[in-house]
Structure 1
Amino acid sequence: MADGPVGAEADISGPPHSIEAEQALLGALLVNNDVYDRVASVVKAEHFYEPVHARIFEAAANRIQKNALASPVTLKAFLEDDEGLRALGGPPYLARLAGAAVALFAARDYARLVYDLAIRRELIALGQDIVAKAQRMNLDDEPREQIVAAEQALYQLGEQGKVDKGFQSFLRAATDAVNVANAAYRRDGGLAGLSTGLADLDGKLGGLHPSDLLILAGRPSMGKTSLATNIAFNIARAYRKGIKPDGAEGAIDGGVVGFFSLEMSAEQLAARVLSEAARVPSDRIRRGDLTEDEMRRFIEAAKALEACPLFIDDTPALPISTLAARARRLKRQHGLDALFVDYLQLARPASSRSEGRVQEVSEITQGLKAIAKELNIPVVALSQLSRQVESREDKRPQLSDLRESGSIEQDADVVMFVFREEYYKEREKPGEHDGEAMMKWQTAMDALRGKAEVIIGKQRHGPIGAVELAFEGEFTRFSNLVKAYQANAQVDFR
């Protein structure tokens, strides 16, 4: 820093900084301690370029936080032995700072400038760090891991700009709650969150809420992947961009969807979505056994959905840190309104040191919940159920059936189970010789055919209970179930 008095031309060499802005901000703080409450959420001591200014700000902040006066006179006793301050002329420098004070209303703008310049310096340092690590040939430091670490560091640096954190008044919180309720009231479906496209499920959940972790669990062949792809497709298909109530540009209906398919390939997942859209049996798509009309519908569906904002990542065994980095990148590049993970037991913990499977799953679920909160989106993670379901007479799943259930149940905001009794009843088919048993079985099958249940076992925001859906296995499609009393009503359940 220049040795001249306050107001001298600032040193413009070196990293981005503004000595004058720092001096003006400190002067305002020493003249009027109320400035601290205005700038404390924006700037910290470490954001000052000049180390002496950082120490002055820290000393003033410490006194103000203790309800003590911070002025040139009171700070003199704490800083008169400071070597850096002595080089600038000693305690009289504090008085000169006060003489250069800006108006109270301008202090936050100066704080913002000091902060922005600090972020630019951090960006430069981060870039230099990336270059230095890339140039080092270290066998334990894979380039892919360096990319993930760099993306995470960049995202965290970008998130530092959100200064409206910490405590907020009840008025502010109540206003936000009213805005959410008003948005739900103005929507036809009365939803506060993203619509799943399934009316009865929306009725129970109120849609998919931002920052929520939703677990969708089921035994193999229950259709949990099908339900997840159906919901993801419904959200992406309904996407409409515009100006949101808060004035920002984004999704005003539907949303951009990210789908981590850790089990199936992207091509298989796309085939499922197209099977539902074109109403062509998925097994025949796989075999290529299609009529000319079915092939035409399949191609038309593919053309109609090519602009659908549904992004699929089919990289197997992703560490949770990489999954988070890719979600951040997708949000930065294209926007992101909902994230699906199929399924969580196939993800890997960030650390390679294994402390048992329960601990690994706990790290994964905590990571998924952190993604939901950090990106402010709903995260839907699929989960397997333990085999103890099969040993019970009533095969309806319960919370205790979740594999490594403790952490999953604790971290999730919503836990849902997909259950199709038809699947189990089909395997109870009696022999052809027992006519009476066969008739009973056939009657039961007729009542269960094409029906599925989504059992909500936990929900922080609303009721638990079961939702009945229609299931068309050949199209891997869940849809709204038309009840008997609705059969003749003119209701559009699309």
Structure 2
Amino acid sequence: MNAYSRDIRPEAPNNVLAEQALLAAILVNNDAFHRVADFLKTDHFYEPLHRKIFEVTSDMIRSGKAVNPVLIRSFLPVDAMVGDMTVPEYLARLAAEAVTIVNVVDYGRAIYDMAIRRAYITIGENMIGTAYNAPADMPAIQIGRDAEASIAEVFAEAPDDDSDSADDIVDSMMEAFSSQRTRPSVPLPLPQLRDIIGGDMEAGMLLGMLSGSGEGKTSMALQIADHALSNGHPVMILSFDQSKEQILDQIISQRTGIENTRIRARTMMEKEMEQYLNALISVRGMPLRIKKCNGSYDTAGHLVSYVKRSLMPLCRKTGKPGLVIVDHARKVCPRDPRAHEGRIAADINGVFKHFADENGLVWLNLMQRSASGAKRRNPRPIDSDIFGGEQGREDYDAVFYLYRAWKYWQNQISTADDARDEERINARFHREKWTEEQAELGVLKWRFGSPNQKFRVRFEAEFTRYVSMRDEAAPAFEGFM
């Protein structure tokens, strides 16, 4: 559904005069476009011709070209009439009556406000129509969820509120400094994690964890979740892979030191069974929510609505920032499946970042790295392995990776061309002194620190958990060949 659809009542909210004033300002001073480009889109215009003019001017200015009535006329419908004027005449009239660009942002916000009102009408009328004609197998609550998700998507595109003055911001910062008040954060379980992102997870952050299949990203995420829970922070896990029971069993294996395979097979000894049941009981009172998601229909808006309904009441009750974990981001249903992967990732991340920032919680996306990255001679993760590439990377405050070289070492050996190739592969991995249980934590993006830090941790496979190697001798090695 297009929330900005004009297929609504003819008296739908609009401000055509603001649209004319804004387009006129852009036609005479192209810098005016940049003042509204971060929040105003083509679909926000009510008048179809204005929509087309803004689309053409946007494309030209973004590509570095100048824009004026003469240069854009050939990209507009030549036979259309605006009252008794042709389109070229209308463009000339707009430019002739252009006023100062000082009020351009106000014009843009007026246009945006009318578009939001029309969006609400569209969502409401669609909700009413669905309620009347819903199929028998659609639960009534799903109608509300879909409407809530649509509204969340509209909110996610809202421009920033710039009403706070510098005086207000400085006063708030001074108050926090004088009272030695730190930023709300969610603690991390391993010192290596804190080192690579410069501390614990601050409220409002969107974080990404990148890893290949079978390297233990879910295990690491559940350790992070359990550590947050142990410190009183509400946690919600949105899983596209594991069931709720599998997630809890893995957390309890990490907690108790009972092998996860024996927990799942129920082959524990009597003392271990008692330990397992006590651990289950201890989890009951924790502020934990687990939602099994479906990649066929659960969009970013749906996920936000689940968090808003289930996690936010716990955050208000505990007074602590919550943690949301999505396992994993590539499986979130896109609004437009035909869009480029970078655009899909950017749309999804934009919704999550906005919600985390507005509600003071931490949002952690797990990402499975691209298959092409695993085939490189040096398979250590790099930026291009991130879901959505450079576009997908933009909204993250930090992206860190989990890398277990042993897996790639064995894969390369199994496909070696000959004995000489196998010897070269062994030499590359031996140089970094990798062992089967070791993993590397590194950072690909961090807004406030060095992007080149990396540390080793040890994976305890039987308990699917990672432990620090700070007390162990760190291997010395040269750069990877």
Residue of structure 1 in register with 2:94 after alignment: none
Alignment of 1:284-433 (within 5 A): 284-317=262-295, 318-335=298-315, 337-349=322-334, 351=335, 354-425=338-409
Pair 1:364–1:387, CA change in 2 (3 A): same
Residue of structure 2 in register with 1:47 after alignment: none
Residue of structure 1 in register with 2:217 after alignment: 224
DSSP-derived class of the 2:276 partner: helix
State the 1:129 CA deviation. 7.8
Q: 1:286 & 1:331 partners in 2: Cα distance?
A: 28
State the 1:221 CA deviation. 1.2
Q: 2:338 & 2:429 partners in 1: Cα distance?
A: 50
Q: 1:135 & 1:426 partners in 2: Cα distance?
A: 56
Higher relative contact order (CA 8 A, sep 6+): 2
- Does residue 173 of structure 2 align to residue 173 of structure 1? no
- 1:27-66 Cα distance to aligned partner (Å, 9 max, x none): xxxxxxxxxxxxxxxxxxxxxxxxxxxxxxxxxxxxxxxx
Q: 1:458 & 1:134 partners in 2: Cα distance?
A: 43
- Letter in structure 2 aligned against 1:462: G
Tell me if the contact between 1:263 and 1:342 (Cα under 8 Å) persists in the aligned partners: yes
Tell me if the contact between 2:209 and 2:399 (Cα under 8 Å) persists in the aligned partners: yes
- Does residue 468 of structure 2 align to residue 456 of structure 1? no
Q: 2:339 & 2:428 partners in 1: Cα distance?
A: 48
Q: 1:186 & 1:370 partners in 2: Cα distance?
A: 24
RMSD: 4.0
Residue of structure 2 in register with 1:233 after alignment: 226
Q: 1:330 & 1:273 partners in 2: Cα distance?
A: 20
- Letter in structure 2 aligned against 1:470: R
Q: 2:219 & 2:440 partners in 1: Cα distance?
A: 13
Residue of structure 1 in register with 2:185 after alignment: 193
DSSP-derived class of the 1:479 partner: strand
State the 1:398 CA deviation. 0.5
State the 1:292 CA deviation. 2.1
Q: 2:213 & 2:337 partners in 1: Cα distance?
A: 30
Q: 2:408 & 2:227 partners in 1: Cα distance?
A: 28
State the 1:175 CA deviation. 4.4
- Letter in structure 1 aligned against 2:166: F
Residue of structure 2 in register with 1:103 after alignment: none
State the 1:138 CA deviation. 5.1
Residue of structure 2 in register with 1:476 after alignment: 464
Alignment of 1:246-257 (within 5 A): 255-257=233-235
- 1:227-284 Cα distance to aligned partner (Å, 9 max, x none): 1111011101110xxxxxxxxxxxxxxx101110111111111111011011111122
- Letter in structure 2 aligned against 1:329: R
Identity %: 20
Tell me if the contact between 1:155 and 1:328 (Cα under 8 Å) persists in the aligned partners: no
Tell me if the contact between 2:127 and 2:147 (Cα under 8 Å) persists in the aligned partners: no
State the 1:448 CA deviation. 2.7
Single out whichever of 215-224 and 461-470 deviates more from structure 2. Answer: 461-470
- Letter in structure 2 aligned against 1:289: T
Residue of structure 2 in register with 1:97 after alignment: none
Tell me if the contact between 2:374 and 2:408 (Cα under 8 Å) persists in the aligned partners: no
Tell me if the contact between 1:453 and 1:467 (Cα under 8 Å) persists in the aligned partners: yes
Tell me if the contact between 1:181 and 1:192 (Cα under 8 Å) persists in the aligned partners: no
- Does residue 259 of structure 2 align to residue 281 of structure 1? yes
- Does residue 114 of structure 2 align to residue 136 of structure 1? no
Pair 1:294–1:256, CA change in 2 (3 A): same
DSSP-derived class of the 1:293 partner: helix
State the 1:312 CA deviation. 0.5
Tell me if the contact between 2:192 and 2:441 (Cα under 8 Å) persists in the aligned partners: no
DSSP-derived class of the 1:366 partner: helix
**What residue ranges of structure 1 are gaps of 5+ in the alignment?**
1-124, 240-254, 431-436, 487-494
State the 1:203 CA deviation. 3.2
Taking structure 1 as the reference length, the TM-score comes to: 0.58
Pair 1:442–1:398, CA change in 2 (3 A): closer
Single out whichever of 259-268 and 313-322 deviates more from structure 2. Answer: 313-322
Tell me if the contact between 2:229 and 2:235 (Cα under 8 Å) persists in the aligned partners: yes
Pair 1:140–1:165, CA change in 2 (3 A): farther
DSSP-derived class of the 2:401 partner: strand
Tell me if the contact between 1:274 and 1:301 (Cα under 8 Å) persists in the aligned partners: yes
Aligned residue pair count: 333
State the 1:420 CA deviation. 1.4
Tell me if the contact between 1:429 and 1:441 (Cα under 8 Å) persists in the aligned partners: no
DSSP-derived class of the 2:393 partner: helix
Q: 1:391 & 1:132 partners in 2: Cα distance?
A: 51
- 1:443-464 Cα distance to aligned partner (Å, 9 max, x none): 8898634322111110113232
- Letter in structure 2 aligned against 1:270: L
State the 1:390 CA deviation. 2.3
Tell me if the contact between 1:328 and 1:375 (Cα under 8 Å) persists in the aligned partners: no
State the 1:401 CA deviation. 1.6
Tell me if the contact between 1:192 and 1:207 (Cα under 8 Å) persists in the aligned partners: no
- Does residue 160 of structure 2 align to residue 146 of structure 1? no
Q: 1:355 & 1:268 partners in 2: Cα distance?
A: 33
Q: 2:429 & 2:400 partners in 1: Cα distance?
A: 29
- Letter in structure 2 aligned against 1:148: R
Tell me if the contact between 2:323 and 2:361 (Cα under 8 Å) persists in the aligned partners: yes
- Letter in structure 1 aligned against 2:389: S
- 1:100-151 Cα distance to aligned partner (Å, 9 max, x none): xxxxxxxxxxxxxxxxxxxxxxxxx99x989955752256996455212554
Tell me if the contact between 1:263 and 1:346 (Cα under 8 Å) persists in the aligned partners: no
Q: 2:432 & 2:272 partners in 1: Cα distance?
A: 29
State the 1:373 CA deviation. 2.0
- Letter in structure 1 aligned against 2:290: I
Q: 2:247 & 2:272 partners in 1: Cα distance?
A: 19
Tell me if the contact between 2:239 and 2:292 (Cα under 8 Å) persists in the aligned partners: yes
Q: Higher Cα Rg: structure 1 or 2?
A: 1
